[in-house]
Chain A
């Protein structure tokens, strides 16, 4: 199964409530997948600042003094906010790649969950309600966000196997379904120089889109390409710095329902996830068509 939710705000007035709205949507989908949960929130950072979300199995030891060590190594001032097993580092945007490399060196056990100007990713093993509470997601504001609760099929139940997957700056993807040609695609992309953290099929889909975007496609074009190259079952919801997209495979047996009002575009694996959104009673509610790319940009 797996449960997906997504919310792309058009009305800035709703931005302070993004975390709360998305959290409620995700918790409603709990019975579609109890293994792990994750959420990506796109918040407007200050100009010139980048965010690096780091996860560690030993947060106390790994995050202690890391600000100063990282700052020294990349030659700038660095600050961070620690939330449970995750920490978000604020570094100059032009130093993001350098900081990512430095962290891998300084803390070999820590993993980079996501990097970019807007994205923060939090994911852990456990139920959505626990994950949302652990990372205080309800208090977060932002312009758009994506959440996922997982029923694991293609790889182990671990933090790194949780969704969303991020394989490029400000990009992330969540998936309901299973891919059947992910091993071959992974081999091809490794040959092209991409790095993978897991054996997971969804990470391959995320990396596939990142690779297409890196080669000059926009999000919509990358999603179109995925329909030709990815084999298996999928409903994907993806996020970029300014955008939000949805695509389903040609068979489209993985459920999806969308709602749009003047204030937002929302996605849910089921209508239940959307039922408490403001103004839902007057929203345009529809089921996204198979093999059809939907995307919105700010």
Chain B
């Protein structure tokens, strides 16, 4: 294993081997700076991070079509604001993985802590373990696929995008939801305000088929899911509810 600081490496260097960054030897800032210094059309498309040991903001702000393999568990905000990159965490992720991601793919092989994919605007976030509370909170177009269960208050105020959960969802699922589509295969402990079960139409089966395929899930059928979404009763202020404020 060797550590290469791309910030000081010649930009024109062609390197088809994975670039390996050892976070026990260089600072996180050096790694992220190298990531942000990539030129368009780079041949260095395979990156690897070792010894992350729960570091925060690993590979935050990546914006090129490269693959980044993180060998170990990460802390807060891994892959935040991601655009185009494919980030794989070979471990678990702390709070806010993929927060506000725009495009690209993030795969977490282990579990994800609270607010995974929060406010995400695009791209695909796959969590192969469980996600905890507030998964997909305020999601704005991201697609999230969770192989295991998700915690309470997930998809709170979700605005658009798709949340697919192969396991169970916790309390107050989809509370105050706008227009995101929520698909759950297991049980929902309780639905939040204005979130209801909805009819599964052919176009939803197609969406699920596509997302499951993209997430590499082949052992589950789209027909096994139920769909949830907004009842749209909170869109406008209702004068009859004035006493509640």
Contact = CB atoms under 8 A, between A and B. Distances in A.
Interface of A: 250-253, 255, 257, 270-276, 285-287, 289-290
A251 B156 CA distance: 13
Contacts of B110: 285
Contacts of A250: 152
A287 B151 CA distance: 11
B113 interface: yes
Contacts of B74: 271
What bracket does the count of chain B residues touching chain A fall in? 10 to 19
B113 A257 contact: yes
B138 interface: no
A38 B99 CA distance: 33
B95 to A, nearest CB: 6
Nearest 5 Cβ contacts at the A-B interface: A272-B54, A271-B54, A275-B53, A275-B54, A287-B132
Contacts of A253: 114, 133
Interface of B: 53-55, 73-76, 92, 94-95, 110-111, 113-114, 132-133, 151-153
Most chain A C-beta atoms within 10 Å of own C-beta, residue among B54, B94, B110, B153: B54
Contacts of A275: 53-54, 73
A271 B76 CA distance: 10
A271 B132 contact: no
Contacts of A274: 54
Contacts of B151: 252, 289-290
A2 to B, nearest CB: 15
Contacts of B75: 270-272
15 contacts: A251-B133, A253-B133, A257-B94, A257-B113, A270-B76, A270-B94, A271-B53, A271-B73, A271-B94, A272-B55, A272-B75, A275-B53, A286-B111, A287-B111, A287-B114
A287 B73 CA distance: 13
Interface of A is mostly: loop
Given A253-B114, A272-B54, A275-B73, 11 more contacts: A252-B151, A255-B95, A257-B94, A272-B55, A272-B75, A274-B54, A275-B53, A285-B110, A285-B111, A287-B114, A290-B151
A287 B54 contact: no
Contacts of A270: 54, 75-76, 94
A272 B53 contact: yes
Nearest to A275: B53
A285 B153 CA distance: 22
Nearest to B74: A271
A255 B132 CA distance: 11
A270 B95 CA distance: 9
Given A271-B54, A275-B54, A285 B92 contact: yes
B4 to A, nearest CB: 23
Contacts of B114: 252-253, 255, 287
A270 B54 CA distance: 7
Contacts of B76: 270
B110 to A, nearest CB: 8
Contacts of B153: 251
B80 to A, nearest CB: 16
A290 B132 CA distance: 10
A255 B55 contact: no
Contacts of B132: 252, 287
Nearest to B55: A272
B187 to A, nearest CB: 16
Nearest to B132: A287
A252 B133 contact: yes
Given A255-B95, A271-B94, A287 B113 contact: yes
A231 to B, nearest CB: 18
A289 B152 CA distance: 10
Contacts of A252: 114, 132-133, 151-152
A252 B73 CA distance: 21
B54 A290 contact: no
A59 to B, nearest CB: 37
Contacts of A276: 53
Contacts of A289: 151
B94 to A, nearest CB: 6
Given A255-B113, A257-B113, A276-B53, A271 B133 contact: no
A38 B87 CA distance: 38
A114 B92 CA distance: 37
Contacts of A251: 133, 153
A250 B133 CA distance: 11
A287 B92 CA distance: 11
B17 to A, nearest CB: 25
Nearest to A286: B111
Contacts of B94: 255, 257, 270-271
Nearest to B115: A253
Contacts of A285: 73, 92, 110-111
A128 to B, nearest CB: 17
Most buried by B among A257, A273, A286: A257
Contacts of A255: 94-95, 113-114
